[in-house]
Every structure is written in C-alpha cells, then in structure tokens.
Structure 1
Amino acid sequence: MHNNIITNFLALVIIVLFSHVNGQAQERSLDYYMKKTPFIMPEVTVPKFPNKIFDVTEFGAVGDGQTLNTQAFAAAINACNAAGGGKVVVPPGLWITGPIQMKSNVNLHVERGALVQFTSDHTQYPMVKASASSSRYVTASPIYGYKLKNIAITGKGIIDGAGETWRPVKRAKMTDDQWKDLVKSGGVVSEDGKLWWPSKEAIDGKKYLKEMKKKVDNPGPMDYLPARDYMRPYMVYLVGCENLLIEDITLRNSPKFVLYPNNCENVTIRHANVFNDWWSQNGDGIDISASKNVVIYQCNVNVGDDGICMKSSGDGPESGTYNVENVLIAGCNVYHAHGGFVVGSNTNGNVRNVFVNDCNFVGTDIGIRMKSTAGKGGIVENIYIKDVYMTGIKGAAISFDTFYQNVPAGTSRDTSNKKAEHDIPVFRNYYISNVYCLGANQSIYMSALPESPIQDIHMDDVWIKAKKGADMTNVDRITLKNVKTDIQKGPVYKITNGRDVTIDNGHMPKAAKVFIEASGDTKDISVVNTSIPNLKELVKTTDGASSKAVHFK
C-alpha cells in the first residue's frame, strides 16, 4: 500500500512537471517572446504573397545535377514578379545554377528533397554594383537583391553556396591529412606555407586591386574582374530591402558570410539552419548589418566564424541614429562558432535594443561576445541577454573587448600598438541574467580602451564553471549580483583600473585562494551581502592599488 502511494505520488509529480514544461513550451511562441522584450518592439511585418505558383521546371529548369539552370530560375522569378508576386517553387532534385537575383513580391520556395547547388564555375558570377546606389563593384552573390519589398526564401530544402571553391584555408585549422588532400586538389599555397587559396587569381587579387585603384579613377566591372576570385561574395546578400522572410531553409557552404541582410527593415529569420565547415574563413552564420526590426527565432547555426552577429556601419554617435535597432533573438542554438551571440567588430553605426532569450551555445569559442576597437567607434547600448545556457566554451563565457583586431586571411596581426585617437567605441547598459555555463576557459573577460571604460553592466543570477576567474580592465559601474563562478585557478575577480564595481552575494569557490585582486587605479569596489569566512584576508592589492580600494558592507 505504501509503495503504491509513493508510486502514485511520483506519477502525479511527473505529470505536473510535464504539464508545466509543456505549458511553457506552448507559451514560448514568437508572440510570447515579442511580448517579453524589455523595450518597445515594433511589429515586424512578415511578407505575404499571392497564391500563384511558378514551378521552375515550367521555365526549362532540369534537376539532374548537370544542367545549368541560371536562366530558367531567372525566368521564373521575373514571371512571378511581373504577375504581381507569388511562389517560385523548386521541386525535389539537384539543381545547378549561377547567381539568383531576387525580385520584389517573390517567395523562392525550395521544397524538401531539393538541393540547389551553386556552380563552381566562377565565370558565371558577374561583377555587379555593391548596392543600388553604389559605384563600387563586387562579385555577384549566389542570392542577391537590392531595394526590394516583400521577399522570402522558404522551404525545407537545401541551398549550397559552393564555398569550398572560393574560401582560403589556414593550415593551422586542418589536420595533416586534410591539408595534404586539400593541396592535392589544386589551388595555390602562400609562400610561407600557412594559407591555401583556391586559385592564382584569388591569391593575387589583393595586390591587383591595390595597383588597379592607383591607375584607374572610376573603375568599372571589367576593371574588377581579374580580382573576382579574391572578392568572394556573401552567400545571401540583400541590401536595402523591406519585409524579408527566411524560413525553414538550410543554407550551407558559403563563400563568405552565409546570411547578410544589410540596411534592411522588417527581417524575420525563423526555423532556419545555417552551416559552414568550422575552418571556413570569414564563414559567419547570420550577420545582421545596419538593419532594424529583426526577429531571429528558433534557428540552428554551426559555422566557421561568428554565429549570430550584429554589425553596424554608419556615421558614428554624432549622427544620433542607431543603424541596428530593435532585434529579438529567441530559441536559437549555436554550435561551433567564434561567438554564440556577437556584436561587432563594426560598431560605428551604433546598436541598441537587442534582446537575446532562451538560447543555447555549445562548443563556441566565446559564448557572449562584444568586440570593437579604436577607429570603429559607435555606441552599443541597451542589450538584454536572458536565459542563455552554454557548455564547452573554449574561451570566455562572457567577453567585452574593445582592443579587438580583425586579421584577414594572408595578413598579420598589427603589433605596432598604434591607436586611433578618435572613434572610440562605447559599450554600456547591458543586462545579463539567468545565464549558466558548464565549462569555459574563463568566466568573464572585460578589456576596454582607457578613454572609454566598459560601463553600466548588470549581471544577475549567473553561474559559470571555468578554469580561470574574471579579468576586468578599465570598467566603470559594474554590478554582479548572485554571480557564482566555479574556477580552478587564479583570483575570482581580477580588477585593473576599475571603478564602482559592486559584488552582491558573491561566491568563493574552494579552489580559489584570492577573491579580489585589485591593481592600478582601482577604487570603490563594494562587496555586499557576502558571507565568506575571512573575506578581508582574501583581497589582494597590487601595482599601485590602494588598500582601501575594496569596501565591505
């Protein structure tokens, strides 16, 4: 009888827990997250299309893996656009094609079982203007469009950008056998043996462009053409578009960034899968550039560079505009990437009002990553990160860095210590809560230019298991409440030139010997509501820091 009661009770508990979890899952629709945003999130218009079907096979496309279908795809898209819009359907099959130029009111729908394979023949990629108003030419992207309205790429099929025929590969990123196979496949290896390029045109492209621009005042497409292989394109490049939907599709193997909406408004990316090999140079997943009113919902990303990234180019803080604004990222998974959620390094167009919620980062180099540098400038503020769960992070779980250097393939890191005297980036007003990380090399890393400390960062209910503790340099007004780090070595908090840092309900892991190591011009460090035996003896001051830098309340 007693066992029956226990069994029934456990069954009831399981039912209640399941109902609770299931109820939460039902609640967590896109509408649920939209209502949770901690700022006023405008309604993001999702494009709608007339019920008209334009099957690419009716325009001469053949899905046999041999026929080049560029003209057939273009004919279907043009017919759809001319008819006022509808759905261009790519049925199951293997479809070889050159670049696809999107048109307004067109939903490019790739059905399950369809594989759209962009051709490895680079002569099929013309030089086109970088945008509708640009005088600069670029290699045509596999999918591109300028100044369009109401466009979509949907369906459960796969689109492959033939990226392996475009991307350079670093020797350090491959095993010996992989490198040998790559070199045997063709291409050219750099003189130092550290970098493989797919062609001689690619390895010579940078030098050619530099010399060409010295000789030609207003270069046209034919002037840029010899550098086509070097100027590898983004895979999906949509500029100045309004009402954009990316849904259900799998995008993989890009020449450069996979998905790159630039200067767009009302962007919805949901249930998409984005994939690049981990060694993919500049193989970013989803990069939102200078765009507003953006939703990224229940997407999976596994790439060779930044996972989900905000980039904002523009005129700097003095313009008063925020080129990246009102962004919701919810229910997403990022696996291999340089960062799970990233801002930068382009920040000079300003970023604000971004909400990241219910995301998992597994095996990324850094979990939450903010990066910029002098010369980039811009203000990044009002960033909200909540309910993020991470594991296997190779670097810091949470990182802010305004000393970041981008090192393109074939170049070296600048060690001259030269620093721009203007355009200093500002990171401020971050709210990070309910973040858990099981396994990182470092818990928290903050390194700012002294002219512009990282400021007003609020962390609440954060737990990180890491090898090393937090390292914070040039920070101001930092609040760490219920932040617990289980580290193996070093101080729990190393603070250099820090001001007004509050540690509320701190935690001292068993392996740590020092709770706070304060150095330099550090002052007004407050430890409150923290019950740690002999706490005052666990504080160390070095390199000129005052013994009064840390206060206990």
Structure 2
Amino acid sequence: MKRCLLIFASLVTISSVMAQVTLLPVPVPKFKKDTFNIVQFGAKSDGLFLNTKAINDAVNACSKNGGGVVLIPNGFWLTGPVVLQSNVNLYLSKNALLQFTADKTQFPLIESFWEGVAAARNQSPISATNATNIAITGAGIIDGNGDVWRAIKKDKLTETQWKAKLASGGVLSDDKKTWFPSASSLKGSITKDAGVLNGNKTAKDFEDIKDFLRPNLLVFTKCKNVLLDGVTFQNSPAWNLHPLMCENLTVRNVYAKNPWYAQNGDGIDIESCKNVLLENSTFDVGDDGICIKSGKDEEGRKRGMPTENVTVRNCVVYHAHGGFVIGSEMSGGAKNINVTNCTFIGTDIGLRFKTTRGRGGIVENIYCDNINMKDIVGEAILFDMYYMAKDPVPLAGEQRDAPKVELLPVTDATPQFKNFLVKNIVCDGAEKAVFIRGLPEMSIKNIAMENMVIKAKRGIICEEADGISFKNVQLIVAETNPVVAIQNSKNIAFDKLDYNSNADLLFSIKGVNCKAITVVNSDGSKAKAKVEFSAGATDKALMIK
C-alpha cells in the first residue's frame, strides 16, 4: 500500500506541474493603413494573365514605403511565387482567389528544407525569410495547384478517379500502383536522398528530378511577428503551412484544405518556432492536421531549436493522419505546449506522438485538455517510438511486420517522451483507445491520463513505459481479451478504471520487466478473469486493492 501511495503522489505532482503551465500572450503584428492595390501595379483578374511581377512589385513598394496593406481584390488572380517582405499585410478580399500557376518552370529550385533537413526544393508559392511584421489576412482563397505536383496511389482513388487520372497524362510506377505527373517526378521517387543537400551538392544538381521536389505552399523562415488570419489555404503541392524557426506566430480563423489522398498534404507544420498561438481554425487534409516539428536526426539536434511555448485551442480537424501531432522530426525537442478545446472527426489518429531511433530530442511538458473525437480510424491516443514513415492505417491488403524489439545503448540519438497530462477526453469510435510503445532502452515516462470516456475496438496497450497513470477512465471496447495489455512496463497506476461488464480478461501482464502495477477503486469482479501473466511476468508485478 505504501508503494501504491508513493506512485500516486509522484503522478499527482506531474499533473499539478502540468496544470500550471502558463504561456504569455503572443504579440500580433500591426500595420500602417496605407493600401497598395495590385491592380495599380498592372495585375489582371482574368485567370490567364500571370500576375507574379505585379503582386511582388506591390509587396516591395509597400515594404519600402514603411509597410501597409497589399490588397488582392475580388477576382481570379493567376500568379507564380510571391515573396512577402517586412511590414506587409497581404489581404485577400472575399471572393478573391489567388491561384498559383500549373507552369512548374515558374518555380525555380532553391536551397531550402524538407522534413527537417537541408534540401533542394522548388520555390514555395508563398514565402518569406528573415522578415518582421508580416501577415496574410482576409476572407479569400489561396490555391497551390497541388494536383499538378503530387503523385497518387491507386488504392486511394475510386476506379473512375483512377481512370481519369491516367487519361490526364503522366506516368506509372513499375508496379502500376502509383501515378506520377511526369517522368522527372517518377525518377525522383527512386533516387536515393533525392534533394538532400549533403557534401558539395547544390540545388542545381537536382534539375533532372525537379518535378519530384514539391514545394510547401507557404514557408516562412526565421520570421518574427507573423499573423495568418481568416484565409483558406488549399491544394498544396506538399505541406500546406510551414512556419520554420519563427518567433511570435499567430494563426487564427484559417481553413487548411487538401484532398484526403494528398501525399505529404499536412495542414500546418510548426517547426522550431517559439511563442505560437493557433486558434479557431479548421483542417481537412491528406496527412497530419496540426503538427509540431523541430528538425530531423543529427541536423535537427545541431540546430537545437525546440518548438516551445505553443497554445492550440478551439480547432477542428476532419480527415488527417493525426489530429494533433508531435513528430516524427522532433530532434530539436518540443516543450511547453497546451492543446485545449479541440475536436477531431474522422482522423486516422487523434492525439499522435511519434518518433524513432536516430531522432534524439526531448518532448516534454505537453498538456491536452477537453478533446472530443469521433470515428477515429486507428488510435484515439498514441505514443509510439517505432515510427515507420508510413500511413498510420494500412491500405487494404497491405502487410506490415511488427518492429524488431532489441535493447540498444542510449545515445544523443535516443528520443524521449516525458511529462504529459491528457485529460477530459471523449472518443466515440476508434480501433484502439490508448497505445503506448516505448523503447527498451528509453521508456515513455510520466504520462498522466484523467477523465476519459473512450469507445473503441480495443482498450489500453502499454509497452516499455514507466510512470503512467490512468484516473477515472471508462472503456467501452468490443474486444475484451484483454481490456488492458501491459508489457515490460513499471509504475503503472489505475484509479477508477471502468470497463464492459462480463469482460473476458481485465489485465494481460507480459514480460520480466513488469513491476509496480497498481489498481485501486476499480471493480475487478466485472471481468470473467482478472489477470493473466506471461513471458516471465509474475503476480508480484500487480497489486489490485
């Protein structure tokens, strides 16, 4: 009993610390009222005229004049890349459509970043570097024309859609299962380290696979005092919104939209940013919805810029690989993040925390409160240190082998997840309620989960974890053999665990490293069998009181 009280005391300490995480308000940029209408710089809204020069001339003139508003009026505006400058608010009127051209030659290869490492990419449709006080606001639409860039898997389209895609041109992979928009794009898909700028390579070295190096729709790099407000960002070639190494970022009232089959079609990837507010926004995309990153592997660790001091609130995520996600490129770390009052409907995973060996980095002090979920395809809540760089839910007929479990030395490349509080969760429908999988050499540590009602096919699975508490958790699960599976984990505490009456097996305890698993204020008599021990686990590992 004394051991049990010590465990709960430590977990209460974690919860109280997390509940006290308070973040300062994020400064919002302010602008002069001077307005620069792109029409005055020669822009035409006929959907045919290329307005690249006119829009950039307006942006440059506005910035040189001390800043103000660059107005995109009502109309259909075709353009190439737009580069935002300091003190400029790019404002899109209602019924303004800023359409980026399908002519890929308008987007030169540049030295940039892709998935956390330095890489050659096509210039992003909208970008800014080292700018201060910038914004994109209004009620218009920005369309990245992503369909001309993206490869598409046959299994993600209906037969009619696939036939239409084939009729549009392009080329097929050797197995005929993936459509590519061009031979250059296909070649890039089979090129090792495509676009990676290592050694003496430059962007020019990748001209033969240019089409494969899809740009993110919006990339702001090393910018300060940034605002995105009210605009719809859609149909991105790769990621939709990518603030990188920015400070004082506010994103509100935006709609990020991509087809569900859009490969790498993330909603927003906040990478190595400090002081962030994301609120009142909607995401319906082809990859992760709201994602936190901080660089990949050794390059990310050398950058050493965590994403920190982040508030995400009042957001809705529809289709996405994950509703709120951290990783997998989190090598610079992530800390002090609050996610509250969000709804995930139809996402593959709800709360998704992913990494793998080689990343390094520490993810800590993460607070998630009042999250509603419905029709989650995979896990409602997932912590996984064996990320495989694949879609979280296998396609029909796809076979995946379980990762090989082996104990390796701890190095600076060993990632860490610790100090999370997840509370007030309601989920109606998921494959698994909670899935926690750490590494033998680095357990997932100090996760407190409170006040959860989850309806799922399977219950709780906990592998290689240390210091995990579940308090006031109700599971309504279709498969009850077991309700809770624990493998090689210690200091696992359950207080007020409720579950289906007449469940087949309440606990499966597996592995010689299982110990200090405690259960209080829970009715074990509702199950046909309370516990089953295997693979070296003994009854000394569990105490039910």
TM-score, normalised relative to structure 1: 0.88
Map of 1:2-401 to 2, 5 A cutoff? 38-130=20-112, 137-206=120-189, 218-313=200-295, 323-401=306-384
- The one-letter amino acid paired with 1:404 is Y
In 1, Cα distance between equivalents of 2:195 and 2:248:
39
1:468 to 458, 471, 476: 458
In 2, Cα distance between equivalents of 1:233 and 1:72:
22
Q: Conserved in 1, the CA contact under 8 Å of 2:111 and 2:202?
A: no
- 1:225-258 deviations in Å (ceiling 9; x for gaps): 3322111000001110100100000000000000
User: Quick one: structure 1 residues 195 and 515, their matched pair in 2 at CA, closer, same or farther if it must change by over 3 Å?
Assistant: same
- The one-letter amino acid paired with 2:217 is M
Displacement, 1:531?
A: 3.1
Q: Conserved in 1, the CA contact under 8 Å of 2:301 and 2:360?
A: no
- The one-letter amino acid paired with 1:528 is V
In 1, Cα distance between equivalents of 2:466 and 2:195:
47
Q: Conserved in 1, the CA contact under 8 Å of 2:350 and 2:379?
A: yes
In 2, Cα distance between equivalents of 1:458 and 1:418:
25
In 2, Cα distance between equivalents of 1:106 and 1:259:
18
Describe the SS at the equivalent of 2:509. Answer: strand
1:492 to 460, 483, 490: 483
Q: Conserved in 1, the CA contact under 8 Å of 2:99 and 2:142?
A: yes
- 1:94-147 deviations in Å (ceiling 9; x for gaps): 00000101111111111111001100000111122327xx98542100001111
- The one-letter amino acid paired with 1:496 is Q
In 2, Cα distance between equivalents of 1:437 and 1:259:
28
User: Quick one: structure 1 residues 208 and 543, their matched pair in 2 at CA, closer, same or farther if it must change by over 3 Å?
Assistant: closer
Greater CA drift, 341-350 or 203-212: 203-212
Quick check: 1:446 aligned with 2:436?
Answer: yes
- The one-letter amino acid paired with 1:271 is N
Q: Conserved in 1, the CA contact under 8 Å of 2:120 and 2:213?
A: no
Q: Conserved in 2, the CA contact under 8 Å of 1:317 and 1:379?
A: no
Describe the SS at the equivalent of 1:141. Answer: coil
Quick check: 1:512 aligned with 2:512?
Answer: no
Q: Conserved in 2, the CA contact under 8 Å of 1:481 and 1:506?
A: yes
In 2, Cα distance between equivalents of 1:425 and 1:223:
33
In 2, Cα distance between equivalents of 1:93 and 1:427:
48
Greater CA drift, 205-214 or 70-79: 205-214
Describe the SS at the equivalent of 1:515. Answer: strand
In 1, Cα distance between equivalents of 2:431 and 2:355:
21
In 2, Cα distance between equivalents of 1:213 and 1:321:
20
- The one-letter amino acid paired with 1:448 is G
User: Quick one: structure 1 residues 448 and 136, their matched pair in 2 at CA, closer, same or farther if it must change by over 3 Å?
Assistant: closer
- The one-letter amino acid paired with 1:245 is L
Describe the SS at the equivalent of 1:424. Answer: coil
RMSD: 2.5
In 2, Cα distance between equivalents of 1:533 and 1:136:
58
Q: Conserved in 2, the CA contact under 8 Å of 1:487 and 1:511?
A: no
Q: Conserved in 1, the CA contact under 8 Å of 2:343 and 2:373?
A: yes
In 1, Cα distance between equivalents of 2:485 and 2:419:
21
Describe the SS at the equivalent of 2:482. Answer: strand
In 2, Cα distance between equivalents of 1:123 and 1:146:
22
Q: Conserved in 1, the CA contact under 8 Å of 2:504 and 2:527?
A: no
* Bigger-Rg structure (1/2): 1
Q: Conserved in 1, the CA contact under 8 Å of 2:292 and 2:326?
A: yes
User: Quick one: structure 1 residues 416 and 351, their matched pair in 2 at CA, closer, same or farther if it must change by over 3 Å?
Assistant: closer
Describe the SS at the equivalent of 1:130. Answer: strand
Displacement, 1:447?
A: 1.0
Unaligned stretches of 5+ residues in structure 2:
1-17, 392-398
Larger RCO: 1 or 2 (CA < 8 Å, sep 6+)? 2
Describe the SS at the equivalent of 1:79. Answer: helix
1:528 to 517, 520, 523: 520
Describe the SS at the equivalent of 1:88. Answer: strand
- The one-letter amino acid paired with 2:332 is G
Unaligned stretches of 5+ residues in structure 1:
1-35
| Percent identity over paired residues | 40
In 1, Cα distance between equivalents of 2:317 and 2:119:
34
Q: Conserved in 2, the CA contact under 8 Å of 1:508 and 1:532?
A: no
Q: Conserved in 2, the CA contact under 8 Å of 1:37 and 1:355?
A: no
Q: Conserved in 2, the CA contact under 8 Å of 1:487 and 1:512?
A: no
Aligned residues: 512
User: Quick one: structure 1 residues 476 and 536, their matched pair in 2 at CA, closer, same or farther if it must change by over 3 Å?
Assistant: farther
- 1:441-490 deviations in Å (ceiling 9; x for gaps): 11111111111111100011011000111111101111100011100113
In 2, Cα distance between equivalents of 1:309 and 1:210:
23
User: Quick one: structure 1 residues 550 and 87, their matched pair in 2 at CA, closer, same or farther if it must change by over 3 Å?
Assistant: same
- The one-letter amino acid paired with 1:437 is C
In 2, Cα distance between equivalents of 1:136 and 1:535:
55
1:480 to 458, 470, 482: 470
- The one-letter amino acid paired with 1:427 is F
